[in-house]
């Protein structure tokens, strides 16, 4: 699926993206028409060239398509350009579109990094569970487009678009044949990193939500006990061995389910 920044004509972009979405979702044009508050027949007229979206409809369309703020701005500029009634206004909007594209290109250029994350990038990546969840989920067939990712993680489409845009800039994700796949970038959080606590907290909060949802296939165990120092070390060793055994299973395992592994054993 191509980015809106690759188009000079918003109708060509809409036609391509709705056709692509229509291959996975029935009645997509009717849903789009409902989202932009018009009849399906009017959408057909827009795509055929005999009608135009209004600025308000452009904003609604961006929300429906999960555009980031930059994508929404560019899409609106394209709509305004198509609606311009005089050559002078079209020229002004052409200049505005070019400035916006140049700013977008410069931003992407500044975000390009090597195949490992900088300290600043790590702060963003570990600021929310969304980044690691999306990065992991796209390895599962069927979750390589933003609509299915958003539905699976119960996140707004715009938020998923923003996360994917950031992951692409970090070279952790790339697009191939209209799908999101893993890129050459790598993540590694050192045990002594100040972000480790935030990383653990992100997933403990998800574990708490899993408990509240009372999912049947989830497993949660909590206990408080008084034990000897020797037995404390024995239990810690058991958990460490279990983690190592789990890693041997996880690495070659086919990507089918997105799971979180959280183990807590500590002295109060």
130 near 153, Cβ under 8 Å? yes
In angstroms, rounded to a whole number, what is the distance separating the alpha carbons of residues 268 and 148?
A: 42
CATH 1.10.260 fits 4-111, yes or no: yes
Minimum mean pLDDT among 29-43, 78-92, 133-147, 199-213: which range? 199-213
Q: What is the pLDDT of residue 109?
A: 56
pLDDT tens digit sequence for 62-84: 999 989 888 899 999 999 999 99
Minimum mean pLDDT among 80-84, 106-110, 113-117, 236-240: which range? 113-117
Strand, helix or coil for residue 7: coil
Where does residue 167 rank: exposed (0-12), middle (13-18), buried (19+ CB within 10 A)?
Answer: buried
In angstroms, rounded to a whole number, what is the distance separating the alpha carbons of residues 12 and 4?
A: 10
Average pLDDT value for residue range 83-91: 93
pLDDT tens digit sequence for 201-232: 888 888 888 887 766 667 787 888 888 988 98
In the predicted model, what is the mean pLDDT of the chain? 87
What topology does CATH give the domain 119-182? Arc Repressor Mutant, subunit A (1.10.10)
Whether residue 123 has pLDDT greater than 50: yes
Q: What is the pLDDT of residue 116?
A: 59
Domain boundaries, the chain: 4-111, 119-182, 196-250
Does the reported pTM lie above 0.75?
no
């Amino acid at each position: 699926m191509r980015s809106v920044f690759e188009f000079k004509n918003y109708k060509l972009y809409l036609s391509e993206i709705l056709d692509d979405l229509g291959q996975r979702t029935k009645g997509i044009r009717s849903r789009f028409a409902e989202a932009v508050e018009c009849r399906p027949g009017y959408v057909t007229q827009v795509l055929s060239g005999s009608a135009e979206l209004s600025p308000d409809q452009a904003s609604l369309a961006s929300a429906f398509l999960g555009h980031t703020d930059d994508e929404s701005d560019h899409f609106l500029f394209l709509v305004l350009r198509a609606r311009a009634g005089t050559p002078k206004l079209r020229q002004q909007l052409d200049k505005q579109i070019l400035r916006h594209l140049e700013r977008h290109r410069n931003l992407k250029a500044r975000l390009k990094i090597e195949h490992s994350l900088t300290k600043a990038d790590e702060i963003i990546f570990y600021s929310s569970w969304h980044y690691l969840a999306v990065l992991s989920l796209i390895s599962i067939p069927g979750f390589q487009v933003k609509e299915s990712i958003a539905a699976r993680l119960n996140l707004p489409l715009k938020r998923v678009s923003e996360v994917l845009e950031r992951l692409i800039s970090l070279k952790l994700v790339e697009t191939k044949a209209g799908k999101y796949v893993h890129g050459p970038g790598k993540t590694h959080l050192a045990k002594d990193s100040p972000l480790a606590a935030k990383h653990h907290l992100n997933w403990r909060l998800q574990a708490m939500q899993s408990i509240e949802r009372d999912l049947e296939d989830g497993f949660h165990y909590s206990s408080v006990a008084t034990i000897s120092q020797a037995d404390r070390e024995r239990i810690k060793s058991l958990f460490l061995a279990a983690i190592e055994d789990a890693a041997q299973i996880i690495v070659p395992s086919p990507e089918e389910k997105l799971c979180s592994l959280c183990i807590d054993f500590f002295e109060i």
